[in-house]
A and B are shown apart, each in its own frame.
Chain A
């Protein structure tokens, strides 16, 4: 491995780069754009989190106390849209921006100007989306899945929501194209595909998913728009269309979308666990193939969201078995993470705590997914809190924990300071306890029949709902610790060495901390023994 000093180009650009706000508006640098994405994502995380707390506050007790039912519906709809498109997806794009070029020895993303455009579309898209809350008739309230005919009853907000979704789609597709071009074209000599870190691999596959399904979502919402404003009959049975057709098109996007939110998480965890187990990742190649199989299967399982709409029996069976098949490559992954830890010399710094919690809690979400995949059982679970428990286990202690793990893991590289380990652990334990208190009782509520997306419930559900809401506030408020740790780390702290984690491998750790603005302007030489940490 070459030394770092000669890979850092002189800062010739910075002299003419604009200062202040203009710099952030016009930057083409992958690290700055990565930071923008991450800050945006954190902001949306708190916005969406506030909405979640409004929902949980209303559900603290039976009866209607705090908000109007219609506003409650707006909150469930907006919470999902903000968290999915505003918090989780941009966080992964931000991480991709920061890490992929450093991990493969590239000078920047392949198309730096387009990179800037991808980011700056997002704040505008969310301005459009969030502004609908203040319009006549309020924001969208028919659920994030936008099923017609209900969603077509949205008022003035409707075109704003649809066009905001179009903007998010444009941004995601451009971001994905950039990731693909970067990974396929900008790897340093010797960085063969099968030497790439797993985070890079999982993002490459995620990018393909994005390019394949975001346009399909665009098509689906365009049909909604024309059904509402231009008299088309796509989802109108009287005209020969079918409202169920929307669900097919939507979930053809929707299921790959949930993998878009979890594959990069798999990548992150596959980077962190080997570092703190001080052992190479077990089954690197099988991880790559498992990721690819999951991505492929994700295209043929969408019907599991529609078991109860009246599909033909052959459809029920096909989607049931195809869905269960996903458990196989997923199981391979979980096995590999455990085998990596097996007899490792493990230490439990904050990133590792989050990564280990990910493995355990994501697996719980995977198991409840398997239960839902059993078509006859799903007839009971569908549209209950059991589904809510399922997807929150895969999304919160899954995707969101991985993002937090990544933040702690690479924060020293980004800021040049060590974060406060004590506070980090405090944040972890509050989050891990909070998230389980919040979501575990929801399994019981769902199995007992409590429906989702309803602001009131029968008295027998009161106990578990109260526990769940207490967990929600514990989890929500502990994220303020996270905010504090991050701000504190940006502003100062113990200086971080180039490689703060003893067991870490990979090109990014050959760079000084903080990583200079421009890195690897001349491609580094890859030492095969250093490959895929």
Chain B
């Protein structure tokens, strides 16, 4: 058997970053809970700062190791499996909220309406005048009268923006594969720009909804599902755009080669995932 001592699979030495990350996460959560109980947000910000520091340090290490050629193809595959299943876990997180939306519309509201035979009592005893329709803030008219969000204004524009950003990131990837740095950077810059435009338009839409349509998180089940789904999605777009921005900076610094660019691909996968979630949102939250 071989007696080589050179490890084929790179196993890092001990690293301070994970424990710093654990402390950061703990501080963040402690701060979040304190805030919800009416306390100060200081811990929350400290936790966030620790986590951001951790990311710089940790990813910095990984980039450095990758660029010094410590990683094998096998390592690259580990990263791919890791990122792929991380995205799947995110899909399942969104699935919970999509599930809530479908459950409310298909089961909860018809039951409250009393026309479905299985639970007429709630209707008859509590809300005999309630009729099922969508959008609704429920029989208690929680949050007061509101206007629902139409699909064909800003949301349709945002769909266009996000879909084109999917195209530009793919174009950037083609550039990278051809070792055409100009195309890579242009494509990425366009994607980042489109991403942030999406976020800004989403903010405009929210502001309009809250101030002129009286549509808030408190607007019954419609407001709850609308804001939680689009809100978590918006947060993911923001994070995705920041990741792509980092990839742009790394591309400008010449970090990627046609053969070694997992960081870029992971960012692109994440971006496509965000894109697909949006399509689900557009259809089920805005349109139907």
Chain A interface residues (CB < 8 Å from chain B) = 2-3, 6-7, 9-10, 12-13, 16-18, 23, 25-29, 106-108, 110-114, 116-117, 120-121, 124-125, 127-128, 156, 158-160, 163-164, 166-167, 170, 173, 176-178, 180-182, 184-186, 211-216, 218-220, 222-223, 225-226, 229-234, 236-242, 244-245, 248-249, 252, 310-312, 518, 521-525
Contact = CB atoms under 8 A, between A and B. Distances in A.
A219 B96 contact: yes
B77 A107 contact: no
Contacts of B138: 233, 236-241
- Among A114, A117, A186, A236, the most chain B Cβ lie within 10 Å of the Cβ of A117
Contacts of A156: 37
The 8 closest A-B pairs by CB, nearest first: A219-B96, A238-B140, A240-B138, A231-B218, A240-B221, A117-B18, A232-B224, A239-B142
B270 interface: no
B170 to A, nearest CB: 26
Contacts of A222: 228
B86 A177 contact: yes
Given A10-B5, A26-B19, A17 B222 contact: no
Contacts of A27: 14
A6 B1 contact: yes
Interface stretch (B28-36, B160-168, B192-200, B279-287): B28-36
B26 A128 contact: yes
- Among B3, B25, B109, B228, the most chain A Cβ lie within 10 Å of the Cβ of B25
Interface string B136-151: 1111101100000000
B96 A218 contact: yes
B38 to A, nearest CB: 9
26 contacts: A2-B1, A6-B1, A27-B14, A111-B82, A112-B11, A113-B58, A116-B19, A120-B19, A166-B29, A173-B86, A177-B85, A177-B86, A181-B77, A181-B85, A182-B78, A212-B89, A215-B96, A219-B95, A226-B228, A233-B220, A233-B224, A236-B140, A239-B221, A244-B108, A245-B107, A252-B99
A158 B33 CA distance: 8
Given A110-B82, A233-B138, A26 B218 contact: no
Contact of A121 (B22, B96, B108, B112): B22
B164 to A, nearest CB: 29
Interface in B32-61: 32-33, 36-37, 58
Given A26-B18, A124-B26, A245-B107, 14 more contacts: A12-B5, A26-B19, A28-B11, A110-B81, A159-B33, A181-B81, A211-B89, A219-B95, A223-B97, A236-B138, A237-B138, A238-B140, A248-B99, A524-B1
Contacts of B136: 240
A241 B93 contact: no
B152 interface: no
B162 to A, nearest CB: 22
Contact of A186 (B13, B29, B78, B100): B78
Contact of A112 (B12, B79, B94, B108): B12
Contacts of A242: 103-104, 107-108, 111
Contacts of A249: 96, 99-100
A9 B224 contact: no
DSSP class of B's interface residues: helix, strand, loop or mixed?
helix
A114 B15 CA distance: 10
Interface residues of B, number: 77
B8 A522 contact: yes
Nearest to A162: B33
A127 to B, nearest CB: 7
A26 B16 contact: yes
A212 B85 CA distance: 9
A240 B222 contact: yes
Contact of A216 (B19, B92, B119): B92
Contacts of B94: 219
A117 B25 CA distance: 10
Nearest to A518: B11
B8 A211 contact: no
Interface string B98-125: 0110011001110110000011001000
B108 A240 contact: yes
- Among A170, A182, A233, the most chain B Cβ lie within 10 Å of the Cβ of A233
Contacts of B222: 240
Contacts of A311: 118
Given A108-B11, A116-B19, A117-B21, A245 B104 contact: yes
Given A177-B86, A215-B93, A245-B103, A120 B224 contact: no
Contact of A232 (B13, B19, B96, B217): B217
A514 to B, nearest CB: 19
B17 interface: yes
B74 interface: yes
B14 A185 contact: no
Nearest to B22: A120
Contacts of A6: 1-3
B81 A184 contact: yes
A523 B8 contact: yes
A311 B173 CA distance: 50
Contacts of A230: 217-218
A186 B92 contact: no
